[in-house]
Structure formats: structure tokens, C-alpha cells
Amino acid sequence: MKQVFLKYGKEESLLRRHPWIFSGAIHHFSEEPEEGEVVEVLMARPVDGRKYGDFEFAAVGHYQVGSIMVRVLSFERETIDEAFYERRLQSALQVRKAAGIVVDGEQSFRLVHGEGDNLAGLVIDIYGKTAVMQAHSVGMHMERQMIAEALKKVMGDQLLHIYYKSETTLPFKAGLGQENGYLLGGNADDVALENGLKFHVDWLRGQKTGFFVDQRDNRRLLEQYAKDREVLNMFCYTGGFSFYAMRGGAKLVHSVDSSQKAIDLTNANVELNFPGDARHQAFAEDAFKFLDNMKDGAYDLIILDPPAFAKHRDALRNALKGYSRLNQKAMEKIRKGGILFTFSCSQVVTKDNFRNAVFTAAAAAGRNVRILHQLHQPVDHPINIYHPEGEYLKGLVLYVE
């Protein structure tokens, strides 16, 4: 195995089990690794006053050209083979079972959440009998077949199809080309269940793996608030919040998304659960424009679940302004005694940043606002305690007087 030697003193984060090694920490290689290759990482140990007197094993991981050069797979000396992936997938499944979200045949959950499950660069979502697998690193891409074999073993007869979808998540520079297709089975049934509600999963064309399972718990909470309310679901994508609101007894539900494709998916999902139900209407429109044109007090339950406004730290200031502006618009117009579910899925926006942005919005709107719930990502998106960067979803449920 090719070896990566760290600069003296650059092992500190590794000793704290952080799974990323940045290019600046690397001193030299035994031989330049190929993109995606499994490498051994060694840290310098001083001998007789010489900093590079000796080297000691630190970790094994996937090598990749870029600012994060090694994604650690293990801090033990272990072989990265099918059995390794089987152990890691088994452990991930165990966590989901412990949380009670694995329901035979009717399950939608994230089985692997990258670093949160000690598998940096890998995401696997399970929709009934289909798994959708995404590689975010070249290493995981190279090993996709091996991972698929391990996944089959771990999930057993529960799993009939594995769809690999990494077209948009792999580093462009690695030049790996288009890589979407079935690794197991094919022509899977595209209807899955979440808390007894049905939804189409468009793994062929949809965003991410096709459906956002990370809002499962928050949708359920929304359902409890929906009775007799007039609901506006902003940034609806596949309409998750909308059909939960309908089951919760909402009087009316309006779904808004700027993408016509998302509106089509929302209409199809509502139809699947509540055929011919006239309470629902969907609009392909820009959310900010919709809020500007909307009548005062038209809705008493509003959901704001926008895409990440900041993908990088340098975009943080503008992102926070964006969250403030959006929330202010909603708070100015929501009916008295209204409930606002508001979210941010930007990883660089902390819980405090977000709360501050919402505070600014409330003050500018001049309304009395109480925080009823503080929301976050669910159990199947666990945060590795050594990798706090894994925390991304935060939300607030507000009572607007």
C-alpha cells in the first residue's frame, strides 16, 4: 500500500479522530497515489531530537487530489475490502434498528450518512426494496461494486435494487464521466412509504437521491399542527410537508417551488395519497415573489425550507441576509396566531447564526414571536462527534402573535 507521510505536528486532528487530512498536512508520499487509491497514513515521531526520526501508523483512507487529500476510513490497521464495508454497513443498520426506524418492507431511511457513519464520501438511502447509493469521493466511486456486494449481504432479501447515482456528486476534475445506473436489479417500483404516506422517488432524475428523508420527523410534527389551518409550503420540492399537512386535517394547502418539475412531483404525490382532493394547489413560482404578492393573513401555517443559501464559508454573510429577508417576508404576512416552520440546511450556518437571522427577521417584522420547537436532522443522519461539520439541518417552529 502506498504511504502518506504527515508533516511533524500535523497529526493532532487525526489523534482526535477527525476523518479529513488536508493537503497542507502532507510531507511526502512513498510513491504518488492514484486518485481513489487506499493509502496508509503515517505520522512523524521525533527520535534523538530529529523531528522525522521515525514514523508511526495513524490511519488508512482514500486518497484524492484536492484540498481534502485523504478521507480516513479507519484508525486501525485494517484491510479495506468487502468484509470491511460489511462491518461498517452492519453497524450503520444497527443504529437505525436501535432507533426503531427499520420497518420491514415499508422503510425509507438513510442507511449511510458519510462521516456520520464512519464512511466518508458515501451516502446510501433505502426506499423500500431499493437502495440509492451516492459517492462523494473518487475512492467510494472506485469501490462501488464492492460496497454493493456488502450492501446485499447486510440488507438480505429486503433489497432487490441498488441504483448508483453519482453523476453530480463526484469531483468534476477526476474526469470519471457519467456514472448512473443499477448495480443490482432494475426497473424498481418507484413508490415508497414514509410514516404510512406514499411518495414517488425519482432516483433517475430527482435531486440528491430523489427524496429528502431528513425532514421525516419534522413533517410528522407539522402534521400535528395542521388541523383546520391554511397552509403554505414554500420550497416544496416533492411536496413532503404538503401531504403530511393534508393528513393532519389542513383546510387548504398551497405548495410553491420555482421548479416546474418539483411542482409536477408534488402534484403526483398528493394525488397518490389524496386522489381528487381539492384542498391542494401547487404553484411554480419564485418563493420571494410569491411572498411579495401574497395577501396579508392569507395563511396561518407557513413552511420555509429553502435550499442551502451558503455552500461555502465566504458566502455566509449573504446567506444570513437571505434567511432574514425570507423569514421577515413570511412573518410580516402570516395570520395572527400563525405557526412558522423555518429551516436552514446550510452546513456553514450554525444553529446560533440561524437563530440570529430569524431574530433579526422577527424584529424587523415587528411581531411577537415565541420559539416552540428547535429542530434538527433525524437519527439516520447521525453526527460523528469527532466531525462536527456533519451537523447541517436546523429549524425553528415559531408562534407568531
Binding of residue 127 to ligand SAH (CB under 6 A): no
Q: Which stretch binds ligand SAH (CB under 6 A): 2-10, 115-123, 236-244, 368-376?
A: 236-244
Shortest spacing between CB 7 and ligand SAH, in angstroms: 41
**Site track 76-95 with ligand SAH (rule: CB under 6 A), x = hit:** --------------------
Distance between CA 384 and CA 387 in Å, rounded?
Answer: 5
Shortest spacing between CB 66 and ligand SAH, in angstroms: 26
Q: Among 183, 287, 319, 330, which residue sits at the site for ligand SAH (rule: CB under 6 A)?
A: 287
Nearer to ligand SAH, 137 or 218 (CB): 218
Q: Which stretch binds ligand SAH (CB under 6 A): 21-29, 59-67, 146-154, 251-259?
A: 251-259
Using CB under 6 A as the binding criterion, the count of chain residues that bind ligand SAH stands at 17
Binding of residue 305 to ligand SAH (CB under 6 A): yes
Binding of residue 225 to ligand SAH (CB under 6 A): no
Q: Which residues neighbour 137 within 8 Å (Cβ) at sequence distance 6 or greater? A: 36, 62, 64, 71, 120, 121, 122, 170, 171
Q: Among 118, 215, 269, 328, which residue sits at the site for ligand SAH (rule: CB under 6 A)?
A: 215
Q: In what order do the strands lie in the sheet with 50-63?
A: 20-22, 68-74, 50-63, 38-47, 3-6, 26-29
Nearer to ligand SAH, 152 or 219 (CB): 219
Nearer to ligand SAH, 163 or 212 (CB): 212
- Helix 240-247 to helix 260-273 angle (10° resolution) is 30
Strand partners, 199: 192
Binding of residue 34 to ligand SAH (CB under 6 A): no
Binding of residue 223 to ligand SAH (CB under 6 A): no
Nearer to ligand SAH, 176 or 193 (CB): 193
Q: Among 203, 241, 323, 354, which residue sits at the site for ligand SAH (rule: CB under 6 A)?
A: 241
Shortest spacing between CB 172 and ligand SAH, in angstroms: 22
Nearer to ligand SAH, 80 or 326 (CB): 326
Shortest spacing between CB 207 and ligand SAH, in angstroms: 6
Strand partners, 55: 44
Nearer to ligand SAH, 34 or 286 (CB): 286
Shortest spacing between CB 288 and ligand SAH, in angstroms: 6
Binding of residue 380 to ligand SAH (CB under 6 A): no
Task: Kindly state the cell numbers that stand for 270.
Answer: 398528493
Q: Among 5, 109, 237, 341, which residue sits at the site for ligand SAH (rule: CB under 6 A)?
A: 237
Binding of residue 258 to ligand SAH (CB under 6 A): yes
Residues within the interface to ligand SAH (CB under 6 A): 212, 215, 235-238, 240-241, 257-259, 262, 286-287, 305-307
